[in-house]
Amino acid sequence: MPGQDLGVDEQFYREYILDHYKNPRNFGHIEHPTYTHEEDNPLCGDVVGIDLLVKDGVVDDIKFHGRGCAISQASASLLTERIKGMSLDEARTIGKEDVLSELGIDISPARIKCALLSLKVLKAGAWGLGEWPGEEEG
Amino acid sequence: MPGQDLGVDEQFYREYILDHYKNPRNFGHIEHPTYTHEEDNPLCGDVVGIDLLVKDGVVDDIKFHGRGCAISQASASLLTERIKGMSLDEARTIGKEDVLSELGIDISPARIKCALLSLKVLKAGAWGLGEWPGEEEG
Amino acid sequence: MATFTSTSRQPFNAEHVRKDFPFFETGVAYLDSANTSQRPRHVLYAMDEYFEQFNSNVHRAAYHVSEVATERYEGTREAVRRFINAHSAKEVINTRGTTEGINLVAYSWGQKNIKAGDLIVLTILEHHSNIVPWQILAAKTGARLEWVDVDEQGELRLEQYHALLEQKPKLVTLSQISNAIGTINPAKQMVHDAKRAGATVLVDGAQGAPHQGVDVRDLGCDFYAFSGHKMLGPTGAGILWGRRELLEAMDPFMAGGDMIKAVRQEGTTYADLPLKFEAGTQAVAEVIGLGAAIEYLEGLGMENITRHEREITEYAMEALSELPGLRIFGPPVERRAGVVSFEVEGIHPHDLSTIVDRHGVALRAGHHCAMPLMIRLDVPATSRASFYVYTIKDDVDRLVEAVADAQRIFA
Amino acid sequence: MATFTSTSRQPFNAEHVRKDFPFFETGVAYLDSANTSQRPRHVLYAMDEYFEQFNSNVHRAAYHVSEVATERYEGTREAVRRFINAHSAKEVINTRGTTEGINLVAYSWGQKNIKAGDLIVLTILEHHSNIVPWQILAAKTGARLEWVDVDEQGELRLEQYHALLEQKPKLVTLSQISNAIGTINPAKQMVHDAKRAGATVLVDGAQGAPHQGVDVRDLGCDFYAFSGHKMLGPTGAGILWGRRELLEAMDPFMAGGDMIKAVRQEGTTYADLPLKFEAGTQAVAEVIGLGAAIEYLEGLGMENITRHEREITEYAMEALSELPGLRIFGPPVERRAGVVSFEVEGIHPHDLSTIVDRHGVALRAGHHCAMPLMIRLDVPATSRASFYVYTIKDDVDRLVEAVADAQRIFA
Ligand SMILES: Cc1ncc(COP(=O)(O)O)c(C=O)c1O
Ligand SMILES: Cc1ncc(COP(=O)(O)O)c(C=O)c1O
């Protein structure tokens, strides 16, 4: 039950999540991106857009923009750090679990959508996947 | 609670109700009635029609026809007996309570409509009352 | 979660099952389960648990108790999916009951797809809830209704059905089991034939789901509607299942909170399935209760339930048949669910109901929301005894005695 | 009937009231009552009593337990009539909640009465349930929607409203109280003006009925919709009240069992009010529970409830205002119901909700099903604390502490 969990907040919103929220990495736009896509989570107003520049099958540059809660923005920032320099093939294998474990915190069901929004943008947009399995959550 | 009321049925369906059911008084039609009206209770399929012959403001003759449960038919039979020979003015004062007390049994809410169908026919039909307050029951 | 009663572990035994149902402490011989069932403690506990421990709305909030509520609410959707063997829980729509489910289809699918001159085929066995929405739709659109008749045993005349299928109906709608006289329709075959004829097919599972269960993929229909309150669940919760492609192509039925993606002054985009069809606050506690009911039914085993009802039905038909002047409607026991509809010479069903009630026997009298069938059978009403997992032979014995008593009174 | 708790006899005291609500044993500071309320034992007992003692369907059967159920079910209708001071219980229609009530009007009244070019006036404060049905109706019929805006305090711009009334709208629809920011609208005056302009008027009482109560005759509207689950009643039961003449002239909404007089193959005649609008098995237990909730509210006294909420709201607004960077939306406390919607600089409402949840505080974050208002306020979402009969100052203190903690974390 809640009410007993006092003091765990610091753990929940770990330092580096707050850091990524306040100082997002790779924030901004790419002038002539190979792919660009934006999605919102209408339920809470989170927005994330991602620009990708691909060269020789490798993610040469990546930038994101958006607004919303710490989870959605930090998760986007973390994702861009991870993907930059990866081959597209490798990047395509990134899944929900990777994103969640990278956040390293216990995301409650109602917040899963926030955490996965940036991955959704990448998959649904940049990689043109029609349906996004992450929808099943939350 | 039910289950403990065994043996009261004879009381409930009193002799004379069953008698009126099996041997309805004033059953049939009047050839040139002053008023005639029929109603049914679609919920249970009870039907009662009443023909009235009025002379000098007095119910000179009354007949009913119909089919349905013992309560509806006995009640119609009892009502015709009561009204025959009455002045119309007097007959108009007959109310729900009169009909129910004449039946002399404890009518459960679900059966009230059966008991009052004949009165409804009289009021709504013969006396042209638009709305029938008895509808409020059951 | 309230721990499950041990009932499920043992071989099926209605005497034991009965102990899970607080209502039976009243001593009433309840013979109206086709109307609404009793509910086991397992279901009541599941709802109480919600009220006491995580009472809150679902989907809308990010705090813990609401997440638990949402998890349980969505847990029912998954339990229903499994129970009816649907492909995806997205195809499982919460409704108030069968009636709302059918109306949803009539409005959202019907008004879009049925045109003047189209043919809608239904059967004379249907419940009003599977008749009146189509009469209204037909009146609005100029479509035609054709009814499949029954034979003297109250079984559908399939040759007539097949003749109607040759006219290429747009919609065929039929019940799995007749609530009024208990006929088990050859639904699977009928659905198959209707699909081959190109029709969209709705099956009214109000009696099928509780008493036979269903595998919607095996059945092959496009829509399947049923009510939780007839299958040990609380009142206020039922299910419409529909094929995903059809549901996705349909407009919403009701509109409001939760069925939207985004609302703007200029216009609104709708949520994906299933929420598109769940506008406003749902019957949260009741949906959770329905999940517990399904768990409970699965614990008993649908086959055990069907077998038990068959036994009781056979017993009841034999015992009732021994009474003079008693006539039973409907098919032989092999093609009949746990419903025995009958008339007793010289006693109107309502009088009979009143008299047996005084013996503590709850027997339904009336048209059972199947007036066209009553007209076809040429009776104003029937008396109907219907059975479920908790019905025991003693209930039937008490009914037979009470009917015999009524016959003495009316002799 | 479960005996009433003694609470009602004493001067109003939320600490005592709270003891009637089993949920509070969880220790959660529940601040989301505008979403759904908690339910007192009195309500749970009323439902349990149904399940245990007279569990059966209503209206359809002639046996004793069903008669008791029917009496209780209809008893709620009479309790509602009294609670809202309607002329007749025939005007009281059972629904699942506000959303179904509004949709019923949009379908049954709207599709018959709204024509191309007609004007429908609503407000920017409305809940999606009082927006989307009209957007759909407007799209179907070619009617026009016009929105009454709010000023900087979140109060309706009445001069704009009056200008719209000069255009002779066919329908005016407005909420008594905004669920999103707590504005108490001058509903009586607005209804009066709309009626003078010749409009039919619907009032969304989802927040009004629980927190202020209503006298529909004094209010003067034509339709009034509300939800039981927001006023201590169970989920799954709500009410639409409508003026008799209007309801009588309307076609049924859903069709099926119980809403008919007679069904024939050739066509169907409908039941009189109120059953014409209650197709299929209703949420019997929940309707009975709603009756108990009304009894309980009446025992507390609506004036006491309003006064208590005002006190708590004032306390909360003061306490929250002392936090740096916290901004409260909506009007001053005199024209505000028990809702405090706010934003905290630098912390997204969802993050705030997650953090205060870890302190055991249930705080709602989101658009509160009022997206057009969020856009108007230029925020993606707000945090919202909402209060009811059982809210105590300690709940507010815990909220303030938890928000302060969040500010420390995000500093
Ligand atoms: C003002 C208002 N209108 C309508 C609704 C919809 O009520 P329900 O979800 O119970 O149908 C709500 C609550 O969510 C509300 O607060
Ligand atoms: C075969 C059948 N269809 C439809 C219904 C309607 O179900 P509900 O009243 O739960 O909507 C019933 C039960 O009344 C039924 O037995």
Same domain assignment for residues C180 and C310: no
What would you report as the CA-atom Rg of chain A, rounded to the nearest whole angstrom?
15
Evaluate whether residue D32 is within a structural domain. no
Same domain assignment for residues D217 and D81: yes
Same domain assignment for residues D261 and D354: no
Same domain assignment for residues D149 and D246: yes
Specify the number of domains making up chain D.
2
Evaluate whether residue C39 is within a structural domain. no
Evaluate whether residue D40 is within a structural domain. no
Spell out the residues 6+ positions from residue D46 whose beta carbon is closer than 8 angstroms to its own: D1, D2, D72, D288, D289, D291, D292
pLDDT at D10: 67
Tell me which amino acid residue D369 is: C
Q: What is the ipTM of this complex?
A: 0.93
Same domain assignment for residues C261 and C308: no
Residue A42 has pLDDT above 80, yes or no: no
The ligand whose atoms approach the alpha carbon of D337 most closely is: 1
**C-alpha torsion D325→D327→D333→D339, nearest 10:** -110
Same domain assignment for residues C314 and C257: no
Same domain assignment for residues D141 and D156: yes
Evaluate whether residue D20 is within a structural domain. no
Same domain assignment for residues D309 and D293: no
Spell out the residues 6+ positions from residue C357 whose beta carbon is closer than 8 angstroms to its own: B2, C363, D62, D63, D64
pTM: 0.95
Evaluate whether residue C22 is within a structural domain. no
Evaluate whether residue D15 is within a structural domain. no
pLDDT in tens, D306-349: 999 999 999 999 999 999 999 999 999 999 999 999 999 999 99
Same domain assignment for residues D207 and D135: yes
State the count of interchain CB pairs (< 8 A) between A and D: 72
Q: How far apart (Å, rounded) are the C-alpha atoms in residues D177 and D33? A: 14
Same domain assignment for residues C327 and C189: no
Percent share of chain A, pLDDT over 70: 82
Q: Collect all residues of chain D within an 8 Å Cβ-Cβ radius of residue B130.
A: none
Q: In what order do the strands lie in the sheet with B35-41?
A: B35-41, B46-55, B58-67
Chains contacting chain B through 3 or more C-beta pairs under 8 A:
C, D
Token pair of C216 as six digits: 């919607």
pLDDT in tens, A74-128: 999 999 999 999 998 888 889 999 999 988 888 888 889 899 999 999 987 667 6
Q: Which of C276, C298, C320 is where one domain is finished? A: C298
- Using CA coordinates, name the residue in chain D closest to A108: D354
Same domain assignment for residues D210 and D342: no
Q: Can you give the residue range of the structural domain that contains D158? A: 46-298
Q: Which of D250, D276, D298 is where one domain is finished? A: D298
Inter-chain CB proximity D67 and B42 less than 8 Å: no
**Which mutation among D99, D175, D211 tests ligand 1's pocket best, with the greatest number of atoms within 8 A of CB?**
D99
For chain D, give the mean pLDDT.
96
Same domain assignment for residues C307 and C275: no
Token pair of B51 as six digits: 């023909």
Top pLDDT among D259 and A128 is at: D259
Element spanning C123, H or E: strand C119-123
Residue numbers in chain C where pLDDT is lower than 70: 1-10
Residue D405 has pLDDT above 90, yes or no: yes
- Using CA coordinates, name the residue in chain A closest to C74: A138
pLDDT at A104: 82
**Cβ atoms of D59 and D259 closer than 8 Å:** no
Q: How far apart (Å, rounded) are the C-alpha atoms in residues D201 and D165? A: 12
Q: How far is CA C253 from CA B24, B77, D104, in A?
A: 53, 51, 11
Q: Which residue has the tokens 């799209």?
A: D139
Torsion angles phi and psi, residue C3, rounded to 5: -70, 145
Residue D275 has pLDDT above 80, yes or no: yes
CATH code for the domain of C340 = 3.90.1150.10
Task: Provide residues with CB under 6 Å of ligand 1.
Answer: C 257, 280-281; D 34, 97-99, 127, 129-130, 175, 179, 204, 206-207, 227, 238, 369
- b/e per residue C79-96 (b: at least 16 CB within 10 A): bbbebbebeebbbbbbbb
Q: Collect all residues of chain C within an 8 Å Cβ-Cβ radius of residue D97.
A: 280-281
Percent share of chain D, pLDDT over 90: 96
pLDDT at A75: 95
DSSP C335: G
Q: Collect all residues of chain C within an 8 Å Cβ-Cβ radius of residue B109.
A: none
Residue numbers in chain B where pLDDT is lower than 50: 1-10, 130-138
Evaluate whether residue D29 is within a structural domain. no
CATH code for the domain of D136 = 3.40.640.10
Evaluate whether residue C270 is within a structural domain. yes
Q: Which of C273, C298, C323 is where one domain is finished? A: C298
Distance between A63 CA and the closest CA of chain C, angstroms: 26
